[in-house]
Amino acid sequence: MECRKLTQYHQESSPWAVAIFAARETSSVLSGTVRAAVAACAGRTATIDVLINGNESLASKFSDEIEAIATDECTLRVWSIAAPDKAHTWNEYVYRIRDTDGLTFFVDGYARPRPDAFAAMERHLAEKPNALAASAIPSTGRTAKRTREKMLRTGGIQGNLYALTRKSMSEVRATGFRLPLGLYRTDPLLGAALTFRLDPSNHQWTRGSVVAVGDATWDVDGISDLSYKNVVGYFKRRLRQAQGALESQAFRDHMSIKRLPPRLLPMTTCEMVDNWVTSQPALARSLFLKQPLSLYAARQLRKPRDWIKTETAPVMLREHATKQVLPKAA
């Protein structure tokens, strides 16, 4: 019975949508991720959108490579997005690019989904009708074991690879929810919004809205050498993590304390964090004392940033469309 149930779900489900986010990856790394995503879509009709933000050179180079990657089952498209911002890219995908009404997978440009990752998340969501999202979990890395155990216990979104259901994508668009520009921790904010069912004033924190899938994961290349580039990258990550600590406090205040809907989040992360600092000065001072780097991050956020490029529409550079297979004549 269970086998027939899952088979029926598989046959009746809509084509998949896959969004791959890239910015600073090399073309070879991005190619590996897209090839892995294509392999994970084997046997299914899917539209894979490669979204390259703030890097016209990578977008142009990679668009010349897709014919060697694409298959007849998948529509593969490469987009150039002018603003160098992942949150803006996510918003553009949700509201302007995605045109497949089915389960939607979100993948980082350096994370290669395992061949069964997409199907495992689909199966898990089929068994959890109240869930709005599913997340894969890490299997490698220094903190993978601890993160894996926590996610399997409490849920949550891991930004390298997760999926939103047709229902949640529809509700996100209907409410007008957008990620604030300049956001570093896109996945926990999105996870919190979905766990409140996009409406904290009418819904409590609903565990089970975002589920972790133990048999869905991805692969990434490790950092094997000590170089100037890697050292600089490490300190940039530390600064972004300090900004992330500010963001977590700010969107917790917005949704958990003030019970405001995610659609009313400010347009930028700077404004969101400033709102929290202004309304909770004692908590802000406490965080700055415990984590001095967060004070530096707050000051960096306040530096003027020109968002004019967010007004430029995404440009599709290349498309390899699914080939339509005509029925055989009787």
Which pLDDT value is given to residue 79? 98
Q: How far is Cα 215 from Cα 192, in angstroms, rounded to an integer?
A: 23
Which pLDDT value is given to residue 55? 97
Which pLDDT value is given to residue 11? 38
Convert 190-214 to b/e letters by CB count within 10 Å (16 or more is b): bbbbbbbbbbbeeeeeeeebbbbbe
Which pLDDT value is given to residue 330? 38
Q: How far is Cα 49 from Cα 163, in angstroms, rounded to an integer?
A: 14
What is the token pair recorded at 278? 């202004």
What is the token pair recorded at 243? 């900004």
Q: What ranges in 41-127 are assigned the alpha helix state H? A: 56-63, 86-92, 117-126
Domain 7-223+309-313 part of CATH 3.90.550.10: yes
Q: How far is CA 151 from CA 146, 207, 213, 285, in A?
A: 9, 12, 9, 30
Which pLDDT value is given to residue 225? 58
Please provide residue 3's backbone torsions phi and psi, each rounded to the nearest 5 degrees.
-60, -45
What is the token pair recorded at 157? 């979104």
Q: Where in the chain is the domain with CATH 3.90.550.10?
A: 7-223+309-313
Q: How far is Cα 208 from Cα 281, in angstroms, rounded to an integer?
A: 33
3-class DSSP assignment, residue 267? coil
DSSP string covering 106-137: EEETT-EE-TTHHHHHHHHHHT-TT-SEEE--
In DSSP terms, 19 is beta-bridged to 49, 106
Q: How far is Cα 287 from Cα 101, in angstroms, rounded to an integer?
A: 42
What is the token pair recorded at 227? 């170089």
Neighbours of 15 (CB within 10 A): 17
Which pLDDT value is given to residue 146? 83
Which pLDDT value is given to residue 8? 38
> Which residue, chain included where needed, has tokens 């409590």?
204
Q: Which residues of the chain have pLDDT under 70?
A: 1-13, 223-232, 323-330
